[in-house]
């Protein structure tokens, strides 16, 4: 800079076309023209000390009036005439520009600016020499100080100018900086410059070096550097070059920097505004257009288009009613306008696919109903159930005579595994229609039946429409399974939605919320199943005809097993009666020792377990036969089976060893089937679960009574245990009891306490027992919830047994609600309860007298083997419950 040394009187001049180098600025230039190459070579490259050259701005001036034209046509020849005089240091720049043609054409006339900047080379590098001998130089120059041109001559290939230094010396600057105006201007400039840097920093532009300079460099020097570093026009920079005076330079720089700052702010504001205006959808549109273009480039677009065409074809052939077709068309048009990536595309497509998949016109062709064949098929598939089958045949007969008859909806009610589902499926095969089972167990949301509106994310059609889609016809036999298990909560009442489904008047235009167009369910044959009638809402029950399927007796179970279950189980396991034989006594044993159910599901499961065990043995045996000739199979494979070896049947297989190829079948044919025996039962099914002595063992201590209860799985034998302990006379109840059964226990205790004397329980010790002790009553099987009033009489009997210290009869079970006054009220589920008692080997049952009519439903064979006692009052029950009659004097007798 000017403050570090003296400027030489002459400087080689390098023209800067339309550009200005300011002091402090650094530029990198590549010199390729012969003139500049020579200049660099001679003035910078060949000098030992890094030399100085003068950089003089030149302006293209095609239109400008050239007051003086150079005689030389080569710019490198330099101007021949110089106009203007040397400006005084810091003086105004009123000198006319030097003008001369820089190129060969007259329009190439350029104007030399009369002021320039002396520059020194920070770095020099020489390019590779070309074959033509030309070289190039890359020079990094730093502006040093301003000068003005006194005169300029072409010495050799480039111009040499006589120059005068314009910038002040160090001492002069120090003096000028004491001026308060200069100081104020300097501060103003630094503020503006600081603001500019902050703004640029916010835009994440690197301003590191400039920021450091702002803190360290003097204001006048910074002024040049700032203007040189930020974008500006040629004229602005020229003006800065001409601003030799410090005050002028600082105010000019402040002006330029402030203008630059404002421009930046305006640009920022505009871009923010534009960004805001470019709404999300526009952006999406833009992106989508780009995506489309990319897809087109990749040739991907056709696929989607093809898909939609295929979907439209499918929709056309679906045979939708006119109003639905119109709706579907509208939706399809919407889909066409969407891009596959758009959020609604997937759901719109799934919806249209559902519309196309629904069987609007497709029906199972109903074959001519042959009642005799239907009856035969029902008989062949189900044992017993005479009344139920009769009702089904009646139902089918009505349909035969009047196919569009709006008959009642049949509802099979009974414990699990009694054949409700399989009966419904038999109806479908008798009608020749497809069968679909809709499980309603645990459905609490109305939307499960009617679907979710499509406005919800993840919305789906209801189970009915989904089922219709799955079955593919509009007239299937639809089984509404476990209709009693639907619940109600805040999400609505599924039962009320079912009302619409089962109402022949309304289901013609069933409106699923998701589908949003009516679907005709009137051709569907609905059949429902339930374990219990009570939970079904009365309006729903009103639309159905309840057909009860009671549990089976042991005899019936045996028949079902022999005729239906065993052949089916064998078939399912790839076996025949040639492989496995399960004889009646064994099936009876399974029924007595391993099952206690009303239906036959567990029985079927146990038979399947036996079949699996046999399948392993059979497979092993067949493998042994298929060994290559000469290879001796190990005789132990079957013999080691343990229990099977006892049958002696395995000896056959020893004979078969070594039999060649074709003879295997013959040999196999001679093999006896595996015969299930008691040992095999225990090996496969484990030790017996029930032995018939349970009741005797349990009632062997006072305080236990045997009750009969009704649960969702049918009738059951329930033990009630009572005990007394030191306390304040409180009643403790355990065993997952509901409110009703708890109240029954309270009533029972009150009744017994009130009749202590009457029942001869009132001796001193017993009074103490009854009044000063806590009573605990427990219902075993604590994991199973229990409720209902029918344990009333059992509770009293258990308490009387406890206080009277006498055991109840092990062969006797009882059921009945009891009033506080001792009256025994009738209860439900008598048939199931008697069946349960029969299953458990109980021979005597005490019932409320008013339940006598229910005995008609109980199979006569069972009644013949049982003693049924009818009680009117609690005393009657007690009289029958204890061995040798009631030990106490009773007021009433049976």
Ligand X SMILES: Nc1ncnc2c1ncn2[C@@H]1O[C@H](COP(=O)(O)OP(=O)(O)OP(=O)(O)O)[C@@H](O)[C@H]1O
Contact call for residue 417 and ligand X (CB under 6 A):
yes
Catalytic residue among 833, 843, 853, 872, which? Answer: 833
**Beta strands, E only, 262-415:** 409-413
Q: Which residue in 833, 863, 600, 876 sits closest to 718, CA to CA? A: 833
| Cα gap 196→808, rounded to integer Å | 104
Q: Please give the residue whose beta carbon sits closest to ligand X in the complex.
A: 419
Least separation in angstroms between CB 558 and ligand X: 12
Residue 521 in contact with ligand X, rule: CB under 6 A: no
Binding residue for ligand X, selected from 100, 364, 529, 718, defined by CB under 6 A = 529
- What's the min distance (Å) between Cβ of 595 and ligand X? 12
Q: Which two tokens stand for residue 536?
A: 């079904």
User: How many whole angstroms from its chain centre is CA 748?
Assistant: 53
| DSSP-assigned states of every residue in 128-145 | PPPTTS---EEEEEEEEE
Among 252, 382, 434, 786, binds ligand X (CB under 6 A): 382
The stretch near ligand X (CB under 6 A) out of 351-359, 378-386, 716-724, 787-795 is 378-386
Q: Which residues, other chains included, contact 3 with Cβ-Cβ below 8 Å and sequence gap of 6+?
A: 168, 169, 170, 173
CB 575 within 8 A of CB 673: no
The answer to the question of residue 384 lying near ligand X (CB under 6 A) is yes
Nearer to ligand X, 557 or 579 (CB): 557
Triad 483, 487, 491: Cα angle to 5°: 125
The residue from 78, 186, 232, 419 that contacts ligand X (CB under 6 A) is 419
Distances (CA, A) of 813 to 314, 738, 850: 65, 22, 17
**Which residue among the candidates 790, 801, 805, 831 is catalytic per the annotation?**
790
Q: Minimum Å distance from CB 713 to ligand X?
A: 9
Strand partners, 511: 518
Q: According to CB under 6 A, which residues from 852 to 891 bind ligand X? A: none
> Angle, nearest 10°, between helix axes 180-202 and 246-277?
20
**Residue 779 is a binding residue for ligand X (CB under 6 A):** no
CB 407 to ligand X: min, Å: 21
Report in angstroms how near the CB of residue 714 gets to ligand X at its nearest.
10
Of 91 and 441, which CB lies nearer to ligand X in the complex structure? 441
Partners of residue 581 on adjacent β-strands: 675
Q: Which of residues 271-290 bind ligand X (CB under 6 A)?
A: none
Which of 487, 635 has the CB closer to ligand X?
A: 487
* Contact residue for ligand X among 385, 460, 668, 756 (CB under 6 A): 385
How many CB atoms lie under 10 A from the CB of residue 17? 12
326 tagged catalytic: no
Q: In the 8-state DSSP scheme, what is residue 786?
A: B
Nearest CA among 296, 301, 429, 436 for reference residue 370 = 429
Q: Report which of 374, 377, 391, 439 is spatially closest to residue 548, judged by C-alpha positions.
A: 391
Q: Nearest to residue 723, comparing CAs of 809, 801, 792?
A: 801
Nearer to ligand X, 69 or 437 (CB): 437
Q: How far is the CB of 387 from ligand X (least distance, A)?
A: 12
Tell me: does residue 551 bind ligand X (CB under 6 A). no
Q: Is 633 in the site for ligand X (CB under 6 A)?
A: no
Q: Of 151 and 555, which CB lies nearer to ligand X in the complex structure?
A: 555
Of 606 and 621, which CB lies nearer to ligand X in the complex structure?
606
φ/ψ of residue 379, rounded to 5: -65, -40
Q: Choose the binding region for ligand X from 11-19, 99-107, 212-220, 410-418 (rule: CB under 6 A).
A: 410-418
Question: What minimum distance in Å lies between the beta carbon of 436 and ligand X?
Answer: 15
Position 604 contacts ligand X (CB under 6 A): yes
Nearest to ligand X of 564, 873 (CB atom): 564
566 touches ligand X (CB under 6 A)? no
Q: Return the number of the residue (385 or 847) whose C-beta is nearest ligand X.
A: 385
The region of 110-118, 377-385, 426-434, 622-630 touching ligand X under the rule CB under 6 A is 377-385
Torsion of CA 98, 99, 102, 107, to 10 degrees: 160
Q: Chain centroid to CA 38: how far?
A: 77
CB of 610 vs ligand X, minimal distance in Å: 16
- The pair phi, psi for residue 789, each rounded to 5°, is -90, -10
Structure tokens belonging to residue 101: 């043609």
Residue 790 is among the residues annotated as catalytic for this protein: yes
> For residue 46, what are its two tokens?
């060949």
Q: Does residue 707 interact with ligand X by CB under 6 A?
A: no
Which of 75, 116, 416, 476 touches ligand X (CB under 6 A)?
416
User: Could you give phi then psi for residue 454, rounded to 5 degrees?
Assistant: -70, -10
Of the residues 77, 148, 210, 421, which one makes contact with ligand X according to CB under 6 A: 421
Catalytic site positions: 790, 833
| Site residues, ligand X (CB under 6 A) | 382-385, 414, 416-422, 529, 531, 560, 564, 599-601, 604
């Amino acid at each position: 800079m000017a403050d570090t040394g003296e400027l030489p009187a002459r400087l080689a001049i390098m023209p800067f076309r339309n550009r200005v180098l300011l002091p402090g600025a650094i530029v990198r230039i590549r010199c390729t023209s012969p003139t500049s190459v020579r200049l660099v070579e001679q003035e910078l490259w060949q000098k030992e000390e890094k030399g100085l050259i003068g950089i003089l701005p030149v302006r293209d001036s095609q239109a400008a009036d050239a007051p003086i034209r150079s005689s030389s046509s080569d710019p490198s020849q330099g101007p021949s005439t110089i106009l203007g005089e040397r400006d005084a240091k810091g003086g105004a720049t009123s000198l006319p520009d030097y003008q001369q043609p820089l190129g060969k054409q007259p329009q190439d006339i350029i104007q030399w600016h009369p002021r320039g900047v002396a520059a020194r080379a920070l770095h020099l590098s020489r390019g590779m020499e070309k074959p033509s001998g030309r070289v190039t130089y890359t020079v990094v120059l730093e502006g040093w100080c301003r000068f003005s041109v006194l005169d300029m001559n072409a010495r050799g290939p480039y111009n040499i100018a006589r120059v005068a230094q314009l910038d002040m010396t160090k001492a002069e600057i120090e003096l000028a900086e004491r001026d308060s105006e200069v100081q104020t201007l300097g501060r103003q400039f630094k503020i503006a410059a600081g603001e500019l840097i902050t703004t640029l920093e916010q835009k994440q532009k690197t301003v590191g070096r400039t920021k450091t300079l702002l803190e360290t460099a003097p204001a006048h020097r910074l002024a040049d550097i700032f203007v040189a570093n930020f974008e500006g026009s040629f004229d602005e920079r020229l003006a800065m070059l001409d601003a030799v005076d410090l005050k002028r330079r600082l105010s000019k720089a402040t002006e330029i920097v402030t203008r630059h700052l404002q421009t930046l702010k305006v640009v920022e504001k505009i871009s923010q505004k534009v960004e805001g205006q470019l709404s999300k959808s526009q952006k999406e549109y833009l992106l989508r257009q780009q995506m489309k273009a990319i897809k087109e480039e990749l040739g991907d677009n056709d696929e989607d288009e093809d898909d939609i065409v295929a979907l439209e074809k499918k929709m056309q052939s679906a045979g939708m009613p006119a109003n639905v077709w119109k709706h579907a068309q509208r939706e399809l048009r919407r889909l066409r306008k969407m891009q596959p990536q758009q959020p609604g595309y997937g759901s719109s497509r799934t919806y249209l696919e559902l519309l196309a998949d629904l069987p609007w016109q497709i029906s199972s062709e109903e074959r001519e109903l042959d009642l005799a064949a239907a009856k035969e098929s029902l008989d062949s598939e189900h044992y017993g159930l005479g009344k139920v089958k009769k009702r089904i045949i009646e139902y089918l007969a009505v349909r035969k005579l009047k196919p569009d008859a709006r008959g009642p909806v049949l509802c099979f009610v009974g414990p699990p595994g009694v054949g409700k589902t399989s009966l419904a499926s038999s109806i479908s095969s008798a009608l020749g229609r497809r069968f679909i089972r809709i499980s309603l167990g645990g459905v609490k949301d109305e939307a499960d039946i009617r679907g979710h509106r499509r406005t919800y994310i993840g919305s789906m059609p209801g189970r009915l429409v989904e089922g219709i889609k799955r079955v593919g016809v509009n007239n299937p036999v639809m089984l509404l399974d476990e209709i009693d298990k639907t619940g109600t909560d805040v999400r609505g009442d599924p039962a009320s939605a079912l009302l619409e489904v089962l109402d022949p008047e309304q289901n013609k235009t069933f409106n699923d919320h998701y589908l949003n167009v009516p679907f005709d369910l009137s051709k569907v044959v609905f059949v429902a199943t339930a374990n219990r009638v009570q939970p079904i809402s009365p309006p729903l029950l009103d639309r159905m005809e309840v057909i009860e399927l009671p549990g089976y007796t042991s005899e019936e179970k045996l028949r079902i097993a022999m005729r239906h279950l065993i052949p089916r189980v064998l078939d399912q396991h790839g076996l025949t009666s040639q492989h496995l034989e399960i004889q009646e006594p064994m099936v009876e044993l399974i029924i007595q020792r391993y099952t206690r159910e009303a239906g036959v599901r567990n029985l079927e499961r146990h038979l399947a377990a036996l079949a699996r065990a046999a399948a392993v043995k059979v497979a092993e045996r067949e493998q042994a036969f298929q060994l290559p000739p000469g290879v001796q199979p190990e005789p132990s494979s079957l013999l080691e089976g343990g229990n099977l070896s006892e049958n002696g049947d395995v000896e056959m297989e020893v004979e078969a060893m070594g039999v060649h190829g074709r003879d295997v079948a013959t040999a196999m044919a001679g093999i006896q089937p595996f015969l299930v025996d008691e040992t095999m039962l225990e090996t496969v099914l484990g030790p017996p679960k029930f032995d018939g002595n349970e009741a005797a063992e349990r009632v062997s201590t006072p305080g236990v009574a045997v009750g009969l209860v009704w649960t969702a799985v049918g009738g059951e034998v329930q033990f009630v245990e009572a005990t007394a302990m030191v306390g304040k006379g409180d009643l403790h109840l355990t065993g997952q009891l509901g409110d009703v059964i708890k109240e029954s226990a309270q009533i029972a205790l009150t009744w017994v306490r009130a009749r202590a004397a009457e029942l001869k329980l009132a001796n001193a010790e017993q009074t103490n027992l009854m009044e000063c002790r806590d009573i605990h009553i427990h219902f075993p099987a604590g994991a199973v919830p229990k409720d209902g009033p029918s344990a009333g009489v059992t509770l009293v009997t258990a308490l009387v047994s406890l206080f009277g210290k006498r055991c109840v009869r092990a062969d006797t079970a009882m059921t009945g609600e009891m009033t506080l006054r001792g009256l025994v009220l009738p209860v439900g589920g008598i048939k199931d309860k008697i069946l349960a008692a029969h299953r458990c080997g109980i021979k005597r049952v005490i019932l409320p007298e008013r339940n006598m009519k229910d005995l008609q439903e109980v199979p006569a064979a069972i009644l013949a083997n049982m003693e049924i006692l009818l009680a009117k009052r609690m005393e009657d029950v007690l009289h029958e419950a204890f061995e040798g009659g009631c030990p106490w004097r009773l007021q009433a007798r049976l």
